[in-house]
């Protein structure tokens, strides 16, 4: 049932059923359904196109960058599928400690987050590599 929680690790982790009509942390959740649909679908399609473009241009030996782009792409498409099917993204992972809850999220959100973290790591490594070569 919507908003029902199933404790998996009491005091730490529940499975829940939450529909998020907005983006991260409920961004634009109060906007009209039509605006959200057009906005989030359009942004996702543009982002997916850019990701595919950069994947094609990426050196195949750069596994960190290719992995990060692939994770972000997969997560974006996963959330897009939810948005098209349900008009909202289905979130179901609920981590908390006592009364402090992290906002519920899903596997697609996790893939986007891990992909972004890998991309930042790659950028830091690449920057250090450039400094080493030039200096």
**The sheet that has 89-97: what strands, in order across it?**
5-9, 13-20, 89-97, 100-101
Active site residue 109: yes
Nearest CA to 92 out of 114, 109, 70 is that of 109
Active site residue 91: yes
Residue in 30, 82, 91, 94 annotated catalytic: 91
d(CA 109, CA 106) in angstroms, rounded, equals: 5
Residue in 30, 82, 94, 109 annotated catalytic: 109
Active-site amino acid positions: 91, 109
């Amino acid at each position: 049932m919507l908003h029902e929680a199933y404790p998996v690790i009491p005091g730490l982790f529940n499975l829940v059923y939450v529909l998020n009509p907005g983006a991260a942390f409920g961004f634009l959740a109060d906007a009209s359904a039509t605006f959200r649909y057009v906005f989030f679908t359009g942004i996702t399609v543009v982002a997916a196109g850019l990701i595919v473009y950069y994947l094609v241009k990426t050196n195949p030996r750069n596994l960190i960058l290719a992995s990060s782009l692939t994770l972000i792409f997969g997560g974006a498409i996963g959330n897009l599928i939810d948005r098209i099917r349900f008009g909202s993204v289905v979130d179901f992972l609920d981590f908390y400690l006592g009364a402090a809850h992290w906002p519920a999220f899903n596997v697609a959100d996790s893939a986007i987050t891990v992909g972004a973290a890998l991309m930042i790591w790659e950028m830091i490594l690449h920057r250090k590599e450039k400094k080493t070569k030039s200096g």
